[in-house]
Structure 1
Amino acid sequence: MVLLRCVGFERARNGSVVELPESWIPGSDFQPALAVLYPATTHSEATIERIWILNIEFSAEVDVEEKDVESAEEMNPLLCDRCNNYFIPNPELHRYPKDLSGILRLNVPPSDTDASKTAIFLRDVESELRRYNEELSRLRLLSQQLEIQRKELLKKAVQHRSWLSPIRKLPVEILQTIFLHVCPTNSSHSLVIDSDKAFRDAPAYKLSCVSFHWKTVASGLPRLWSSLKADIFELDTDPRSLLQLYLDNSRNQPLNLEISCHKYGIALGDNRSLKDRLGKYGFRILKMLFEHIHRCEILSLDIEGEESELIEMVGAGGSVLSMPNLHTLTTRLDDNYRAGHSFWESVRDNSPNLKIVRSGKLLGIDLIRYENLTALVVDWAYDAFTNQIFRVIERCINIRSLSMHEVLVDEDPGLGKPVILGALEQLTITFAEASYHIYTLFNNITVPSLKSLNISGGETAFSAQNGPGVPGVWSPASLVAMFQRSGCAVQELVLQIPDNILESEFCEVLESCPTLTCLTVSLRRGMQGRETFAYRLLHRLQHGVLGQHLEQLSINEKDAQFDFQDVLDILDVVESRNRVSESRSTVLQTVRIEFGRLAGNTGLESTLEERRRKLEREGIHVAIVPTFPSDDVLTVLSQSWDDI
């Protein structure tokens, strides 16, 4: 006898026990069967019913595989495990008729009997599909209702979780500090306006949108809204409301303002007028910003060429601009744009606090009060005559940092005596490739307070025996004379000269800089091993007499070649110098040697690495860096290429 638990059918209650007839075969649990209610149940009055067998409980006399039970559960999806609500499909429709995929490939019409059975099957299928659709519609509606309730509950949970957030206990002062740290106005801008929306950034505004409290805190920090950047080229979207919000919230805070007009550049053949290139709102944004230019502490005008007319168009009213707070000016405007314009009049006459200037070209002495500057950077001084350069330098009596790039010194200025730059501490000079008279500059300046000197460039230097302009070995005589004449305590020296230099003459530079702590030399030279500048110089530093205070040394000979034994010798020199450092000199804490190629016995590579690590443990950082692959690597690459 087989006992089964009826989970659900029309006339018998859930949980009824029924008895199957002997004709029922185990494993046919999805077939319709005649089941008789067991007499012991409370439903003895029930008659024979046609049911679908579900959730069978077999007695011990019958052994049925578990897979049949699992297949029954898969066929009858459980909609609710609490009330055992199943969706009961008609298994006959899933089992019969047989699959027709093979018959459909043939052009054989059904017989009358098959057509009649198929019509009955399709009628039953349509009825069954309606049951599926109704159930699915009910479930979808229920799912939508549950999703709406879930979202409402989740929203409340988020709100209450936010209510308990520890950040609400932070004092306003700490929250202000966090905001200023997240939006640093000294290294980035709190608002970036650009023609491309993807590049528009407004971190202060985004912080103020988090909550009313954060908005109050952010609005109470004028510095948070005071750094603005705008590229007005092809600006067709309207950012005026956002810009006005920043200008209002910045109150009287000095502004850091950067204006440019060539984010993507002007294409060749673009014959549009200047205003048309700005788009619909470019010029309006420029005027809004210039209305607050009197508040600028840092001003950057990345405008040049024809775009310089924009400044004149903004000041067409004729009123003289006032910039009493201006401290730092970065501009690409040059002497071609002057004409007594109100902008330069304001820079010269109405900017008493201007201390730092960075210009694309060397500006005339009638445009800038150089005597007030503490720092000057000229990005491109190639077209400036030597006399112009020295006329500007003469007026920089309070300058502390001077950087000039692409300098072409073509003649002696004939000053009679060197210019004294008494406050200058940092000097950076990049000579143009065609500059042959680099000695002219050093012969005509005296720098008693100089601490850092950076010299680079110059295609061909000079030697005393060959004369000016004749290719030869670079002679540092003029540099040594400047050091001796100035009596300065130079601590950092960077020389990047694409020319040969004799280490014997270079030692004169070191002797004239006894306080030197950091030395960087970069030169182009094709020597090998012990003939290289790095090898010879390190051996002169070995005994600690030369460069007694030297702590950092970096040498770059990109065309030089070393083998592993040469590198080991260099490490010996470093160790030897540091052994006598206690009594004579400081320890070389950092040594970096860059060269072209490392050759020789690769078996010494492990020894080299072990020595380097030993120095590392002693606090001495040594880096021996070849810029090209070693011979073995090149051989392997060559063989691989041949194999290909």
Structure 2
Amino acid sequence: MASSPRCINCKTKILPTCHYPAVPTATLRSNHTPTHSDVAYIRVVLQEEEQELQRYDEEIESLRQTLERLESERELLTRKIGERRSWLAPIRRLPVEILERIFVQLPTCLNIVGPRQGKGRYQLTSSAITLSHVSFHWRSVATAQRSIWSRIKWARNDPHITMKNDLTPLLDIFLENAASHPLEISIKFPLAYSTIQSSTSAIVERMGTHAIHLLRTLTNQFPRCEVLSITDLEVEALDHVFPHGTTFPLLRSLRYDPQRFRDNNVFKTNGRFWNAIYSAPRLQGISFDTILEPMEHPGRVPWNQLKSIHVDYLVYYRDFLFLVTHCCQLESLEIDVPFAGFEEDDEDEPEWDETIIPVVVPHLQELSFETTSSVVSHALLRALTLPSLERLDFGFGESDNLDSVCESLQTFSSMLQRSSCALTMLCVVIRPRSINERFLSLLPEVLEQLSCLECLQLYVDTPSDRGRTNPGTGGSLHNIIGRICSLLSLSSNRSQTILPKLVELHLDDGFTAPYPSSQMGSVLDVVEERTGPRLDASGRKDISALRDVSISVCLIGKKQELPGIEDRVAALERDLIECSILWDFVES
């Protein structure tokens, strides 16, 4: 029989224990019936055991209440300990000014992304919300930083699922905390193709009540918007919720990318929206999917106040010429030209490359044009004079005529001579078939002109349908890395140091042609020569130390032919702020 429970401290019995024996199992299993005297005795025993059971229940309830009280007191004590430890936390000694700067640098945008798992519910993420839940102090600091509540991004993933949850209350919190701070709003709301073909009322109906409510809340905030990005949202839906009389007094930058790819009608449907955009007094930057609509009504666009233009699909050379001649304050231009190059305006007119005229763009500081046509790259380089150019990103188009590609490089050199000598960043994309010995021989002449260059990025772009060049058939392609590195070497006998201000170097051969593994050491030699410790040891104060290096090459040979390469790369990673040197082997 089990002993009576005792107090853990004094060992006193808490409750008495009945000493009546249990009914034998054999008796219960038999058909034996108790006698009258047995029945009277059993009833007395039952009464005593039931009374003792009640006392046990009462004691258990008392102990349960005691346990709950102890757990509650333990939880309170744990919270006190945590609060005292928090009181001693080093981060409390961080000045509020530093904490504010940290908060401002975080990606605190409100991201509304969905639907999730086909249920029509959206996922919300925001560092601003997370920061405000850390502590009362952090919440007060976060809510005082209006800028971290001013960035709102709404991205719809599945156009076939209607929005099921109302997110307007959370959006209202962000808008309230942002107060009068200018907003950055990004809306991506693709519609199903069948919806696009419907009437405006059908489009609105299929968007759903919650989506329309959220969209209307955002459009009501357009007068507070400083940066606006609209992607895939059809103008019929925008027209339905765009308030009459809305203006953009604060708008500086607009990106509009409609879902109806290159359809001129998408611009004309919502006259109120575009009239308000073009009337924005502070508008300085516009990013278009195509520039067709502005060219239809060029008088509506405030070209003279635009400083930044990005066009994803520039079809005609005349449009490019219009931009660089009418945007008198243009500082940044980024264009993508179709694969086949510029299209012809009219069969009766001369071909566009026969109408090239010299153009001076006095304030342009950043230029980026992407094209696979050597004719386009050659024409643009031949036409432009850029006295304020600081950053240039372009590609040498691929051509079966290597002489024309080399002429493009010479044209680039001439453009540098006509333009600014203060170019600090150069990114060049080269197609494999564009490289030959003449091309490589022209590199020194070009690089010698870039005395102020701080960042050099050179990439070999290989079409996906071509793949890697077979060993031994790469021609002069594998020399591109070696030629660049030999020019940068400080141990060469050149009278003029190439790129003395260079601090960032990015070389990528696209793994298109094998580079002799025996020459990999010379590549590392050049990088090591330009690290801070080596320059200090040699007393070269006229050379800037490399800070950021990334090199990707394809090597022919075996890893055993490169003794100590991993140790040398590890040493460079210690000496440089950023270092990434990657290589891949192919058998010889």
Structure-2-length-normalised TM-score: 0.72
Q: 1:387 to 1:137 in 2, by over 3 A?
A: farther
Deviations 1:23-44 (A, max 9, x none): xxxxxxx7xxxxxxxxxxxxxx
1:360 matches 2:289:
yes
2:213 matched residue in structure 1: 284
- The amino acid of 1:375's aligned partner reads S
2:441 matched residue in structure 1: 504
1:151 matched residue in structure 2: 72
Deviations 1:115-149 (A, max 9, x none): 99xx99x9989987995686256424531454156
CA shift for structure 1 position 514: 3.4
CA shift for structure 1 position 329: 1.5
- The amino acid of 1:308's aligned partner reads V
Q: Tell me the distance in 1 between the aligned counterparts of 2:147 and 2:550.
A: 42
Q: 1:619 to 1:167 in 2, by over 3 A?
A: closer
Q: 1:346 to 1:621 in 2, by over 3 A?
A: closer
When structure 1 is superposed on structure 2, of 271-280 and 79-88 the one drifting more is: 79-88
* Alignment of structure 1 residues 17-416 onto 2, 5 Å: 77-82=5-10, 84-85=12-13, 135=56, 138-140=59-61, 142-144=63-65, 146-147=67-68, 150-151=71-72, 154=75, 158=79, 166=87, 178=99, 181-182=102-103, 184=104, 187-190=107-110, 192=112, 197=121, 199-201=123-125, 222-230=146-154, 234-262=162-190, 266=192, 273-304=202-233, 307-315=234-242, 317=244, 319=245, 321-333=246-258, 335-339=264-268, 341-349=271-279, 351-362=280-291, 364-365=294-295, 366=298, 368-378=301-311, 380-381=312-313, 384-408=315-339, 409-410=341-342, 412=352
Q: 1:547 to 1:277 in 2, by over 3 A?
A: farther
- The amino acid of 1:278's aligned partner reads M
Structure with bigger RCO (C-alpha 8 Å, 6+ apart): 2
SS in 1 for 2:240: helix
1:519 matched residue in structure 2: 456
When structure 1 is superposed on structure 2, of 446-455 and 365-374 the one drifting more is: 365-374
Q: 1:160 to 1:619 in 2, by over 3 A?
A: closer
SS in 1 for 2:275: helix
1:420 matched residue in structure 2: 360
Q: Tell me the distance in 2 between the aligned counterparts of 1:618 and 1:207.
A: 35
Q: 1:551 to 1:135 in 2, by over 3 A?
A: same
CA shift for structure 1 position 325: 1.0
Q: Tell me the distance in 2 between the aligned counterparts of 1:422 and 1:497.
A: 27
Q: Tell me the distance in 1 between the aligned counterparts of 2:551 and 2:111.
A: 44
What do you get for the CA RMSD once the two structures are aligned? 4.8
CA contact (8 A) 1:464 1:475 kept: no
Whose helix proportion is higher, 1 or 2?
2
SS in 2 for 1:389: helix
Q: 1:87 to 1:206 in 2, by over 3 A?
A: same
CA contact (8 A) 1:430 1:457 kept: no
CA shift for structure 1 position 159: 7.7
2:379 matched residue in structure 1: 440
CA shift for structure 1 position 494: 1.4
1:560 matches 2:560:
no
Q: Tell me the distance in 2 between the aligned counterparts of 1:224 and 1:609.
A: 43
SS in 2 for 1:520: strand
CA contact (8 A) 2:390 2:420 kept: no
Identity of aligned residues (%): 21
Structure 2: give runs of 5+ residues left out of the alignment: 343-350, 463-467
SS in 2 for 1:560: coil
Q: Tell me the distance in 1 between the aligned counterparts of 2:137 and 2:566.
A: 58
CA contact (8 A) 1:446 1:486 kept: yes
- The amino acid of 2:481's aligned partner reads A
Deviations 1:385-430 (A, max 9, x none): 2211221232232222222235453363655532222122222222
CA shift for structure 1 position 94: 8.5
CA shift for structure 1 position 274: 1.0
CA contact (8 A) 2:366 2:390 kept: yes
Q: Tell me the distance in 1 between the aligned counterparts of 2:125 and 2:395.
A: 38
Q: Tell me the distance in 1 between the aligned counterparts of 2:32 and 2:549.
A: 99
CA shift for structure 1 position 522: 1.6
1:536 matched residue in structure 2: 483
Q: Tell me the distance in 2 between the aligned counterparts of 1:225 and 1:473.
A: 52
- The amino acid of 2:248's aligned partner reads M
Structure-1-length-normalised TM-score: 0.67
SS in 1 for 2:153: strand
1:547 matches 2:465:
no
* Alignment of structure 1 residues 423-502 onto 2, 5 Å: 423-431=363-371, 433=372, 436-456=375-395, 458=397, 460-461=398-399, 463=401, 465=403, 475-500=408-433, 501-502=435-436
Q: Tell me the distance in 2 between the aligned counterparts of 1:387 and 1:532.
A: 38
Q: Tell me the distance in 2 between the aligned counterparts of 1:162 and 1:113.
A: 68
Q: 1:134 to 1:573 in 2, by over 3 A?
A: same
Q: Tell me the distance in 2 between the aligned counterparts of 1:146 and 1:621.
A: 58
1:626 matches 2:583:
yes
Q: Tell me the distance in 2 between the aligned counterparts of 1:143 and 1:590.
A: 65
Q: 1:270 to 1:85 in 2, by over 3 A?
A: farther
Deviations 1:42-84 (A, max 9, x none): xxxxxxxxxxxxxxxxxxxxxxxxxxxxxx8xx6544543352
Q: 1:133 to 1:484 in 2, by over 3 A?
A: farther
- How many pairs were matched up? 528
Structure 1: give runs of 5+ residues left out of the alignment: 1-29, 31-71, 101-108, 633-644
Deviations 1:482-505 (A, max 9, x none): 212224322222112222323213
- The amino acid of 1:608's aligned partner reads I
Q: Tell me the distance in 2 between the aligned counterparts of 1:200 and 1:275.
A: 23
CA shift for structure 1 position 345: 1.1
- The amino acid of 1:388's aligned partner reads D
- The amino acid of 2:237's aligned partner reads L
